[in-house]
């Protein structure tokens, strides 16, 4: 059964367009309160990123929760992974994050964490949706929920981040540029790095409600590249607006993406634990990472795109490390969700312990050229059920062999067929992608 409001990661959209409106968030807060009141009396944590609409939605959720008789503990601006951590350690009934992650300021959304700091179970999301579609019934005045602010939330999370690396390790001697995307990590990430001894140069730490993710952060790292080169820094760290993504830049100004970072962490874990383990990627993870892991004796298992699916696969295969090319990296032995700061600390630990710089560490894998083409179609169809497309895909796969890979699928949200071809030879990859795009265009008519 499909959900009416919830997507793969909560509810998200443009502010002012239903359902990302104040009245809906009020109703959502009440619905959440009703569901968690059934689970037993306890408080709910609410945190947010730095976009301006967070003020409005924080108040709306708080009012709805209060009407349902549930207490609210407000965290203010905090990274999404921090809210997951605090939900677990403060023994909250649930954690609510007001954020649209790497999106612009005019978008916003709400996502949730269970008491264990993981995504909410489907059955709870269905229950919440059921209450959203019913009328608000306010509890008796004596039973209304109360609200208070958690004043030491940032300090608690900073100490947690530091605890994910050896207590004897220092970052002294490292010159690091950190770009916080004018988002939720602006007051946390620099403190973590400075307290561990690094010399820190900051950008993207002046949020004004409108500049979150704007020309900065993990999705637009050019400013970080320029700053690393200008300052002659050892490396750069780019986080996104809610702190669950990580992209890095080496001292030469070369971008190191999620696939390369996962490879570095996997190699480090193997050297420490001597125990091969599966690594979880996605359908979009670069083939070069898969081949690089194979050389280490490690297997890559591909999940559907999305952190929810990566987490499901991690649990299914008893794995500890997984993530996406975009920089969403889950170190399950350290925390319960993707955490940009924690992932960065694992890389910095490897640099300090081995004496190798980031540029050297990423040499263990070679990223292959990857071409993405979207073909507009007039009707929804599974392209792999069309014989002409099947034949074309089989021909290209045979030609690429071990040296390449094809992914061809219909978009779940738009009238598009997405074609991805990657391989060692850039010209061949481009040619094959164009060939497949032509076959798709000619085979799917209106």
* Active site residues per annotation: 101
Indicate the CATH number for domain 168-255: 3.40.120.10
Class of domain 11-151 as given by CATH: alpha beta
Q: Burial code of 46-56, b = ≥16 C-beta within 10 A, e = fewer?
A: bbbbbbebbee
For residue range 36-88, list pLDDT tens digits in order: 888 766 899 999 999 999 999 999 999 999 999 999 999 999 999 999 999 99
Q: What is the largest CA-CA distance in the chain?
A: 72
The residue length of the chain stands at: 446
What's the 3-state SS for 274-341?
A: CCCCCEEEECCCCHHHHHHHHHHCCCEEEECCCHHHHHHHHHHCCCCEEECCCCCEEECCCCCCCCHH
Report pLDDT for 412: 67
Residue 446 has pLDDT above 50, yes or no: no
| 40 and 115 Cβ atoms separated by less than 8 Å | no
How many alpha carbons lie under 13 Å from residue 6 in its C-beta half-sphere?
24
Q: What is the mean pLDDT of the chain?
A: 94
d(CA 245, CA 233): 21
| 308 and 315 Cβ atoms separated by less than 8 Å | no
| 215 and 179 Cβ atoms separated by less than 8 Å | no
For residue range 197-227, list pLDDT tens digits in order: 999 999 999 999 999 999 999 999 999 999 9
In this structure, of 14-23, 130-139, 292-301, 409-418, the range with the lowest mean pLDDT score is: 409-418
pLDDT (mean) for 256-266: 98
Report pLDDT for 166: 97
User: Which residues fall within 8 angstroms of residue 151, CB to CB, at 6 or more apart?
Assistant: none
Phi-psi region of 48 (alpha: psi -120 to 50; beta: other; left: phi over 0): beta
Report pLDDT for 92: 95
For residue range 29-40, list pLDDT tens digits in order: 999 999 988 876
How many alpha carbons lie under 13 Å from residue 292 in its C-beta half-sphere?
23
Residue 13 has pLDDT above 50, yes or no: yes
Residue 23 has pLDDT above 60, yes or no: yes
Report pLDDT for 2: 78
Q: Tally Cβ neighbours within 10 Å of residue 260.
A: 29
SS3 at position 248:
strand
For residue range 141-162, list pLDDT tens digits in order: 999 999 999 999 999 999 999 9
Residue 360 has pLDDT above 70, yes or no: yes
Q: In what order do the strands lie in the sheet with 404-410?
A: 370-376, 416-423, 404-410
Q: Tally Cβ neighbours within 10 Å of residue 19.
A: 17
For residue range 169-192, list pLDDT tens digits in order: 999 999 999 999 999 999 999 999
d(CA 371, CA 382): 21
Same fold, 11-151 and 370-443: no
Report pLDDT for 432: 95
Q: What percent of the chain has pLDDT over 70?
A: 98
Domain 370-443 fold is: TATA-Binding Protein (3.30.310)
CATH number for domain 258-340+348-364, candidates 2.120.10.80, 3.20.20.70, 3.40.120.10, 3.90.550.10:
3.40.120.10
Residue 411 has pLDDT above 90, yes or no: no
In this structure, of 1-15, 143-157, 260-274, the range with the lowest mean pLDDT score is: 1-15
The domain locations on the chain are 11-151, 168-255, 258-340+348-364, 370-443
| 130 and 114 Cβ atoms separated by less than 8 Å | no
Q: What percent of the chain has pLDDT over 90?
A: 87
d(CA 265, CA 161): 16
Residue 96 has pLDDT above 90, yes or no: yes
pLDDT (mean) for 339-363: 97
d(CA 366, CA 362): 8
């Amino acid at each position: 059964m499909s959900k009416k409001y919830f997507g793969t990661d909560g509810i998200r959209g443009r502010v002012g367009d239903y359902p990302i409106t104040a009245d809906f968030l009020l109703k959502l807060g009440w619905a959440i309160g009703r569901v968690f009141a059934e689970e037993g009396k306890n408080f709910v944590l609410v945190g947010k990123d730095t976009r301006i609409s967070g003020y409005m939605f924080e108040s709306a959720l708080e009012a709805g929760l209060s009407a349902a008789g549930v207490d609210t503990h407000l965290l203010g601006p905090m990274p999404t992974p921090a809210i997951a951590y605090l939900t677990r350690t403060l023994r909250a009934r649930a954690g609510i994050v007001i954020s649209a992650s790497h999106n612009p300021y005019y978008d916003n959304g709400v996502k949730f964490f269970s008491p264990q700091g993981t995504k909410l179970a489907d059955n709870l999301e269905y229950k919440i949706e059921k209450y959203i579609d019913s009328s608000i019934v306010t509890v008796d005045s004596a039973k209304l929920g109360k609200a208070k602010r958690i004043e030491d939330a940032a300090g608690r999370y900073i100490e947690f981040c530091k605890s994910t690396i050896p207590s004897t390790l220092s970052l002294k001697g490292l010159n690091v540029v950190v770009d916080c995307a004018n988002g939720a990590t602006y007051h946390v990430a620099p403190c973590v790095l400075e307290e561990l001894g690094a010399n820190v140069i900051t950008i993207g730490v002046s949020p004004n409600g409108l500049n979150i993710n704007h020309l900065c952060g993990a999705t637009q790292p050019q400013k970080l590249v320029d700053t690393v080169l200008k300052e002659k820094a050892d490396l750069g760290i780019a986080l996104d607006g809610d702190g669950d993504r990580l992209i890095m830049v080496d001292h030469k100004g070369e971008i190191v993406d999620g696939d390369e970072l996962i490879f570095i962490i996997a190699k480090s874990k193997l050297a420490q634990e001597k125990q091969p383990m599966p690594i979880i990627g996605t359908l979009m993870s670069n083939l070069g990472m898969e081949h690089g892991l194979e050389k280490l004796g490690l297997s890559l298992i591909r999940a559907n795109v999305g952190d929810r699916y990566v987490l499901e696969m991690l649990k299914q295969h008893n794995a500890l490390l997984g993530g996406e090319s975009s920089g969403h990296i889950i170190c399950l032995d350290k925390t319960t969700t993707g955490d940009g700061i924690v992932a960065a600390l694992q890389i910095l630990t490897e640099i300090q312990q081995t004496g190798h710089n980031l540029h050297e560490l990423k040499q263990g894998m070679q990223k292959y050229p990857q071409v993405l083409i979207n073909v507009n179609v007039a009707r929804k169809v599974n392209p792999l059920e069309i014989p002409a497309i099947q034949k074309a895909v089989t021909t290209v796969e045979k030609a690429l062999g071990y040296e390449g890979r094809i992914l061809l699928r219909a978009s779940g949200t738009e009238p598009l067929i997405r074609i991805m071809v990657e391989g060692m030879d850039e010209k061949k990859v481009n040619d094959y992608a164009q060939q497949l795009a032509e076959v798709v265009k000619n085979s799917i008519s209106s």
